Amino acid sequence: MLLDYKNLRNKYLKYFDNDEHYCDFVLADVVFGFSEIYYFLNKNNVSSVLEIGSGTGILLNELKENFPNIQFSGIDPNISGFHNLKTVISKLNKDGYNIKVESTGVEKYSSDKKFDLIFSINVFEHVEDQVQYLLKTHQLLNKNGLNIILCPNYDFPYEPHFVIPIIINKKITKFLFNSKIKNFEKKENEHGLWDGLSFLGRKKIEKILKKNNYSYFLDDTIKVRMLNRLNSDKAFKKRQGIAGTLAKISKFFMIDKLVFNLLRVPFPYMKLIIKK
């Protein structure tokens, strides 16, 4: 099931003070996130869900409206380097949406409650201690519960927030692209975004999971959906800049199949599903 983007925009634009750029940025990920999580809520026996990194709370609200029998919880640290997301939630709640997002990070989150499903979308790369994140979220799962993580895969040398290539490592990349990084953070009011990124790739994540004997699955079909998203999601394509254009060209000429399937070059995005 897909959310209707036009209806969403009409519904939520005013809560962004009619800032179309910011609204489109958020809603593009809401539509994407909803489509990636919907199946698990619709097909599994899920009664409790925790979203980590709820941001504006809009995705959480749309899920609540579509699955009224499921209990949803959300947390978000609202750390430096992000828009003032609390302002949007506050405005929504004044209109009666009743979106509850606890202001905390997962490492400090305390709950006696266990969840059937935990998910995060474009959050994992912002977590300072990713090993602790995996351990803590696993503890919060019910038996047979699922933890779904969607995030960039830094085994591929590309940083999607800043749309720049990764040259050897984070430190050298910052040195080479320091001006572009600073300009982007200033323009988007995302000060501290670069310093808060953790460049952990699929190989290192799998190593952590195997070490802790976690049962997991990497959904490689995400490649097709992300490439298709460049055609269907104008806000997402615009955000990717020249990289998005090159990806569309490679898909048109089927170069993507050569690169990612035959040559087995790591795809720059991943969907990880961990089962307890």
Domain extents in the chain: 5-275
Q: What residue ranges of the chain have pLDDT lower than 50?
A: 80-81
Q: Measured between alpha carbons, how far is 59 from 12 in angstroms, rounded to an integer? A: 11
Secondary structure (3-state) at 100: coil
Q: Report in angstroms the alpha-carbon separations of 238 from 21, 55, 99, 100, 243.
A: 11, 21, 29, 31, 10
Token pair for residue 264? Answer: 């087995």
Residue with tokens 């085994």: 155
Q: What is the pLDDT of residue 81?
A: 44
pTM of the model: 0.93
Q: Measured between alpha carbons, how far is 83 from 78 in angstroms, rounded to an integer? A: 8
Sign of the C-alpha dihedral computed for residues 212, 270, 197 and 41 taken in this order: negative
Spatial neighbors of 141 by CB under 8 A, at least 6 apart, are 114, 115, 116, 118, 147, 276
> 229-252 in b/e burial notation, b at 16+ Cβ within 10 A?
bbeebebbbebbeebbeebbebbe
Residue 216: how many other CB atoms lie within 10 Å: 16
Q: Check: CB of residue 141 under 8 Å from CB of residue 147.
A: yes
Q: Measured between alpha carbons, how far is 75 from 51 in angstroms, rounded to an integer? A: 7
Residue with tokens 């430096």: 80
Phi and psi angles of residue 251, each rounded to the nearest 5 degrees, phi first: -70, -40
Q: Measured between alpha carbons, how far is 156 from 269 in angstroms, rounded to an integer? A: 8
Q: What is the pLDDT of residue 82?
A: 54
Q: What is the pLDDT of residue 38?
A: 94
> 60-84 in b/e burial notation, b at 16+ Cβ within 10 A?
bbbbbeebeeeebbbbbbbeebbbe
Fold of 5-275: Rossmann fold (3.40.50)
Spatial neighbors of 113 by CB under 8 A, at least 6 apart, are 48, 73
